[in-house]
Structures are given as C-alpha cells and as structure tokens.
Amino acid sequence: MKAAFNYPNVGRAGQFCKGHYVICQFGYHYLACRPEDKPDDPLLKAPLKEFLVSTTYGEQFLQNLHPWKNEQNIINQLFYYLSRDEYQHETQSISKSIKWIAHELSIGNLLFIPLYE
C-alpha cells in the first residue's frame, strides 16, 4: 500500500514493527499503532476516540476495511502486532481476531490515527 506518510518501522513484521497503515471502506488512511509506538510528529492528528465507547464500533470498522486497498491479511497483521506473538493466531478465526482487536481498541491498547487531510 502506498501512503503519503512514511513513518519508520510502520508495516514491518516482528519485534521492530511500530504499527500498520489501514484504509477504511471510504478510502481514508489511518495509522494503527500502540500508544507507545505513536510517532513523535507534531502535525499528526489525535487518535479516533469513537472506539473507546464500545467494542461494537471497533468491530464494525475492522469488518468494513477496504477489501483490496489494504495489505493482504491486515487483520492477521494487526493481531500479531498487538499480541506480539506470530504463532498465537494459528487457532483463531478472523471473526475472533476482529473481536479481540476491537476489545484492544476499546481499552486503548490500539490507536487509529487519521492520516488524511
């Protein structure tokens, strides 16, 4: 995925990963990262707060990511990034992964930061 923003180590695999770029169903770009991995960029917008209300909002957002503009297996990549374990996902379905990621969104362990103007 080509993005106008290029933050160091975003989109990588493994322990050096600092987040992933995602595109919603409307084509807007977001940076998905843990709070400790948020880039130190004064021009970066504030993270979306909608997901702190309920896991339902997070589930709907994740289920409706753009089907072909995102990297392949973006849900798996977000799961690996948050769990810090590339082997834990082997036994989980995508729907269970989405529920778990949405829960992490609701408790603030994952941020979605808008990258569009």
Would you state the pLDDT for residue 34? 95
User: b/e per residue, 45-67, with b = 16+ CB within 10 A?
Assistant: eebbeebeeebebbbebbeebbe
Q: For 10-33, what is the mean pLDDT? A: 91
**Taking the model in full, what pTM does it have?**
0.87
Type of residue found at 15: Q
Q: For 21-42, what is the mean pLDDT? A: 94
Would you state the pLDDT for residue 1? 43
Mean pLDDT of the chain: 88
Would you state the pLDDT for residue 13? 79
How far separated are the first and last CA of the chain, in Å rounded? Answer: 18
